[in-house]
Amino acid sequence: MPDDLKTTRDFFDAVADLPAEQRSAYLDQHCRDADRRAQVERLLAADSAAAQLGFLQLPPAPDAELSDRLASAGAVLARDPLLGQRIGRYHVKSLLGVGGMARVYEAVQEQPHRVVALKVMNHRVASRSALRRFQYESQVLARLRHPNIAHVYEAGVASTAGGDLPWFAMEYLPGARPVTQFAAEKQLDLRHRLELFIKVCDAVHHGHQKGVIHRDLKPANLLVDASGEPKVIDFGVARGVDSDIAVTTQQTHLGELVGTMQYMSPEQCDGDPHGIDTRSDVYSLGIVLYELLTARPPYNVADSTIYKAARVIRDVLPVPPSTVAGVAPRLARRLRGDLDTIVLKAIEKDRERRYASAAALADDLRRTMTGEPIAARRPTAWSRVVRWIYRRPAATMLTVSTFASAMIVFGGVLLDLYWSSRPYRFEISPEGHELRVVLGNGASYPVARDCNDTFLFAEILEPRSASAPKRPLLVGVMAAEPGAFRRGLNIVDADGDVSRPLRVLTVDANLLPDVLRKRETELGQSFAPSTFGAEHLLVADTFSEFPGDEIVVAFRHVFYTQTMIAIFDRDWQQRFAVWADMDLDALAWLPDARQLVILGSNGQYFLHERDLEHVASFNHPQVVFAIEPGLGVQLSEYVRQEPSERPGAHECLRPKWYWMLPACAAAAKYELRPSRASDGASQVEVVLTYEGASPSFAYGVYWTLVDGTPQGEPRFSETYNLIKQGEVRAWGDTPVPSKSEFALTKDLPPLSPGTGPRPPGSPSPP
């Protein structure tokens, strides 16, 4: 731009922003050149007149004469002389649209038979540059072969009474709509909008590779046909980048604005043809993408003057799409980040900072759809990790699982070290009946079940044997070996050093079942004695041959359900042992029947494997059964928990009775409570309790097993009274449920007929 023209423009920029009453004084003070001042005043007058009219709007008719002329023009349009005529090999059917240089008709070609869009030069366009531009469009389109660019079939010149009319026939797109309108009508989601737009970018890039700059990319020229495919049309203002074509056939005058202002790049607004390249089309694509994502353009210049619209396009920075008012919060979150960056890079004011090509813009859109780092900015280490996770969910799950497993193992090692080195000690309570752990800070707690995962129980026995401590302290250890204590039953002198056991009882390695030995060999699983902890303890007079009580201990594997039930005399000699594949919950002794009652979940089978029609669960069935221990019996076999396995089994492996309990909620559990019946007979109550119940006895007894006969056959009775309360009481604000409400699941039948007695009212076995 010449220096004198730039100076005039600078004066105009400064004065246009001032109120009208201050402009004259400003020019008096700063613009002493009369000719320049006259130019500025003319520009101001033109700007004011344009502002009153509105940009790209027709001025109102000043008189009736203009109205008559407009009506006459409409009548001429209605009786278009080309309608019904033949242009080349095409029969003109109807008028589709009128542009500044040409009219577009619907026409029919006979050989081959097809409907085409026929573009014909207007008679009144006398400009030689406009004629060259029209002729050039057909040449340009004929060079383009892309599925998303409207095809040009043929071009020529028709002789009419008004002179020669250049024309060309191109692909007809019935029912086609602008891409933004199509997306809104179909309510396309974000992914489908981006996929549609990427095809447009690919088509424009194809034109750029053929040496064509479109220069008028806008929704009206980016149509979507009835099949949902986008088509780029109207290269009527395209400008070839080939030097010969640029000079000889497509010379745009300095300052001439061609295209639609809303979608024009800043360099197009400057009107410099030498400053326009493929990045101008990238800018227009960015504006369309902005509108496609937010339903509104980044600038609203529809009601502005040409000058003010150009200033907005050159100087005003757009807001990120994610912050546009009216965008849904969910969509805003998806736009925030990569898509904001991509759109703003495409519509950069400085073309050097834009995408170098439409293909680069499309590539970044593809990357953000697949979760890869975009080229528009350098990805951070964290963003690379997030995108790697997004692209490889299976590998991520495997990595996380491996890491979690490693952390669990590592945590176990740390826990071992912690227990072996933590500053704690043991002491007997002042009453002399309880073992307590005293921490380094002075806090203490009793060693009892559910207190921690290491010490499961601690019980002090009365003196019994000279070879044993006067008051044996039995401590069951299940978790990692903490200091001097080891997994198993630790025997401590309650009146001596309670921090160091005298001996540790555990499973006899010689009694390991063959199936476990096989698993050690084939699967590498360890079933060494050190992997079993003492989980349950029962002191009872199980063998009449010995005076006083024996010690019943349940040793369970630290990882699996394999459990050995062993009985020791008070000299700590093992007198009985059997195995049970179950998670054992409780032990009880029926002295009159000489039966050991065992409660827990059967580890051999799942509920659904029992063929019970009303059970659809993968939980292990909760069972209660009784065995009669035999002195000197030590077996490396499992108690038979399946009727079909009973024939031929050792007597101690065959339960005296066996019952499957009704399934209960996760927050509930069964307990065994030895007591005496009203007639003095020993009995065991099977109690269903709920966690957090108050009082602690929860809802009540489910049934009671009484050994009232010499054979010890239990009989069943049902009661729904709260145990030891004598009356039905409420728990908090919730009343104790009635019988029908209490039995939330159906009573499960026994495993097979005759395997055990049924509670009154329970269903018959299948």
CA atoms of 345 and 354, how far apart (whole Å): 5
Distances (CA, A) of 602 to 467, 525, 527, 578, 756: 38, 21, 20, 15, 16
- 465 CB neighbour count, 10 Å cutoff: 13
| Total count of residues recorded for the chain | 766
CA atoms of 222 and 180, how far apart (whole Å): 9
Distances (CA, A) of 188 to 13, 179, 338: 43, 11, 20
Query: Is residue 560 left, alpha or beta, with left meaning phi > 0 and alpha meaning psi from -120 to 50?
Result: beta
Cβ neighbours of residue 22 under 8 Å, at least 6 residues apart?
Answer: none
Amino acid identity, position 484: A
Q: At how many degrees (to 10) do helices 278-294 and 179-186 cross? A: 20
Element (H, E) at 120: strand 114-121
- The pair of structure tokens assigned to 668 is 């509930």
CA atoms of 147 and 505, how far apart (whole Å): 83
**In this structure, are residues 669 and 691 in contact, taking their beta carbons and an 8 Å threshold?**
yes
**In this structure, are residues 230 and 148 in contact, taking their beta carbons and an 8 Å threshold?**
yes
Nearest 5 degrees, angle CA 568-CA 570-CA 576?
15
CA atoms of 652 and 638, how far apart (whole Å): 10
CA atoms of 335 and 470, how far apart (whole Å): 77
Catalytic residue among 202, 216, 549, 581: 216
Asked if 216 is an active-site residue, the reply is yes
**In sequence order, which ranges of 459-500 are alpha helices (DSSP H)?**
none
Active site residues: 216
